């Protein structure tokens, strides 16, 4: 049986907040407003996941499900360079797939699990977990069905995390219309996905913008981590400081 490991986020302050980084065999979810840094953390993890374990890495490949079309190979190359890794090799070790429907997202997980039986992986990313659910189950009466299918998907993801000893990083959006009423102002502290997602995520991170390129990360609702904050920067080399 393999040992649990932790992947560096690229920021030592953030790693410290997380007790060493994002954990394998576990689901870490980051939510926050547009441009709060959710995807940049994912892109940085794509690189650190491949580094030696002595450097905060996971010595494995990465599976990346992109539902929003925001994956940027050129950013991966920049981040790889920062970590003195070969950009082409790093890119080749990312199994990238764009998902267009919830059903497609499910199929990709099956494909990814098959790949994981063949080669060592250390990370699975879904950016973002809820986007397609919100499109495919947008009707008024569809919420309970949505939550049921979401629950199935999350248990499949958790099974992958445990079976292959990979870290899972999910991004999530914040609620735009909490009461279904007239207000369309996003509530930055309310992740979507309800209690189903809340229950599945081992660690939930709330991200917000600070000054300039600074970002603030707060542990949200954790039974075992303190409600502390960490400040990090986003730069050319990804998540920094």
Name which of Mg ion, ligand ADP, none residue 165 binds, using a CB cut-off of 5 to 8 Å depending on partner kind.
none
**Could you tell me which stretch among 20-28, 152-160, 186-194, 233-241 binds ligand ADP (CB under 6 A)?**
233-241
Question: Residue 172, interface with ligand ADP (CB under 6 A)?
Answer: no
Binders of ligand ADP among residues 61 to 90 (CB under 6 A) are: none
Question: Residue 34, interface with ligand ADP (CB under 6 A)?
Answer: yes
Write the DSSP assignment of the chain as a string of letters. Answer: -PPP-EE--S-HHHHHHTTSSEEBTEEEEEEESTTSSHHHHHHHHHHHTTS-GGGT--SSEEEEEESSS---HHHHHHHHHHTT--HHHHHHTEEEEE--SHHHHHHHHHHHHHHHHHS-EEEEEEETSSHHHHHHT-SGGGHHHHHHHHHHHHHHHHHHHHHTT-EEEEEE-EES-TTSSS----EEEEESSHHHHHHH-SEEEEEEE-STTEEEEEE-S-SSS-S-EEEEEEETTEEE-
Among 40, 50, 172, 203, binds ligand ADP (CB under 6 A): 40
- Name the packing angle between helices 38-48 and 73-82 (round to 10°): 60
**Could you tell me which stretch among 113-121, 182-190, 195-203, 228-236 binds ligand ADP (CB under 6 A)?**
228-236
CB of 46 to Mg ion, least distance (A): 13
Binders of Mg ion among residues 16 to 55 (CB under 5 A) are: 38-39
Q: Which is nearer to Mg ion, 66 or 136 (CB)?
A: 66
CB of 126 to Mg ion, least distance (A): 12
Among 38, 61, 146, 204, binds ligand ADP (CB under 6 A): 38
CB of 36 to ligand ADP, least distance (A): 4
Q: Which residues lie closer than 8 Å to 33 by C-beta, 6 or more apart? A: 174, 186, 188, 208, 209
How many residues in the chain?
241
CB of 139 to ligand ADP, least distance (A): 26
- CA dist., res. 61 & res. 71, Å (int): 16
Q: Which is nearer to ligand ADP, 205 or 234 (CB)?
A: 234
Q: Which is nearer to Mg ion, 24 or 39 (CB)?
A: 39
Question: Residue 67, interface with Mg ion (CB under 5 A)?
Answer: no
**Could you tell me which stretch among 9-17, 56-64, 190-198, 231-239 binds ligand ADP (CB under 6 A)?**
231-239
Interface with ligand ADP (CB under 6 A): 32, 34-40, 213, 234-236
Binding site for Mg ion (CB under 5 A): 38-39, 70
């Amino acid at each position: 049986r393999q040992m649990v490991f932790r992947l560096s986020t690229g920021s030592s302050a953030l790693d410290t907040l997380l007790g060493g980084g994002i954990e394998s065999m576990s689901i870490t979810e980051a939510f926050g407003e547009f441009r709060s840094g959710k995807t940049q953390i994912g892109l940085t993890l794509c690189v650190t996941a491949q580094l030696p374990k002595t450097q905060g890495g996971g010595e494995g490949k990465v599976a990346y499900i992109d539902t929003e079309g925001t994956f940027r190979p050129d950013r991966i190359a920049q981040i790889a360079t920062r970590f003195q890794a070969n950009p082409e090799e790093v890119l080749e070790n990312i199994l990238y797939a764009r998902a267009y429907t919830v059903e497609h997202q499910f199929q990709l997980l099956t494909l990814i699990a098959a790949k994981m039986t063949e080669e060592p992986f250390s990370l699975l990313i879904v950016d973002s977990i809820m986007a397609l659910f919100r499109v495919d189950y947008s009707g008024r009466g569809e919420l309970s069905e949505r939550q049921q299918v979401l629950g199935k998907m999350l248990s499949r993801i958790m099974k992958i995390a445990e079976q292959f000893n990979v870290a899972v990083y999910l991004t999530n959006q914040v609620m735009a219309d909490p009461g279904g009423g007239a207000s369309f102002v996003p509530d930055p502290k309310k992740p979507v996905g309800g209690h189903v997602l809340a229950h599945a995520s081992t660690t939930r991170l709330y991200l917000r913008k600070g000054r300039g390129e600074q970002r603030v990360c707060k542990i949200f609702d954790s039974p075992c981590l303190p409600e502390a904050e960490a400040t990090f920067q986003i730069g050319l080399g990804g998540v920094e400081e």
